[in-house]
Homo-oligomer: A and B are copies of this chain.
Amino acid sequence: MQNLTVVKIGGAVLEDTASLKDFLLRFDAITGNKILVHGGGRTATQLADRLGIKTQIVDGRRITDKDMLEVVIMVYGGLINKNTVAFLQSIGCNALGITGADLNIIRAVQRPVGDIDYGLVGDISEINIKVLQLLLSEGFIPVIAPLTHDGLGNLLNTNADTIAASIASAMSELFNVLLVYSFEKEGVLLDISDRQSVIPLMNRELYSKFRNENIIHSGMLPKLDNSFKALEDGVKGVIITSSNALDLTKGTRLTL
């Protein structure tokens, strides 16, 4: 099987052109098949503010009504995705910017209303691994915006971490997949105030321990839950590392 690296990029780096370009140069340097999944929540919130649309985030997830969906389609599918593609093309990386609707790559169902009504948010039901494989075989680099579709003509807002993990898991049928979550911090930290306290290696047992002791909490939990789920689903490795100087030898490496 060939190798495939699925990299998720999110957070402040997306808003700073110089940092983003540095990140993309390092992404380009990763050898073999690769896929980039990006977020863009901060920029979406800024545009919503400018348009007088109220942002509501519950448990790290954006409540998405019709107006907010338009905002995220414009920001994720347009502004961030296309600027990223244009920069990658300028350094010879043959990027193709897509959403889950393009070539029917990610199908989702609108999340049922539970305690919270998240609105036009999609839970992934199917990843079209054959089409992704075809794109990769042509040397194309998919750059994926965190939008899915329901097959009925509607786009849906879907968390980028979840998209990255779902693609990594699904593509494990065809590739040896490494999933990389890159974000503001150097990795999973023992002490959130100490950037040097990166946990270099963590298995599920250690994760449970840290979680029980409240050393790892809040925003890291869904990322880590997604990661261990991906490992169970056949992903060969997960690395959580800094987007500032993307280096796959650093950060926190997860194992089962």
Contacts and interface: CB of A to CB of B under 8 A. Distances in A.
Number of copies: 2
A129 B73 CA distance: 28
Given A70-B79, A73-B79, A86 B138 contact: no
A235 interface: no
A81 to B, nearest CB: 7
A75 interface: yes
Interface in A69-83: 70, 73-79, 81-83
A100 B134 CA distance: 21
A33 to B, nearest CB: 16
A101 B79 contact: no
A149 B76 CA distance: 19
Nearest to A52: B50
A99 B79 contact: no
Nearest to A151: B90
Contacts of A151: 89-90
A73 B77 contact: no
Contact of A50 (B51, B101, B103): B51
A88 B137 CA distance: 25
B104 A94 contact: yes
Contacts of A96: 98, 102-103
A121 to B, nearest CB: 15
Contacts of A83: 73, 155
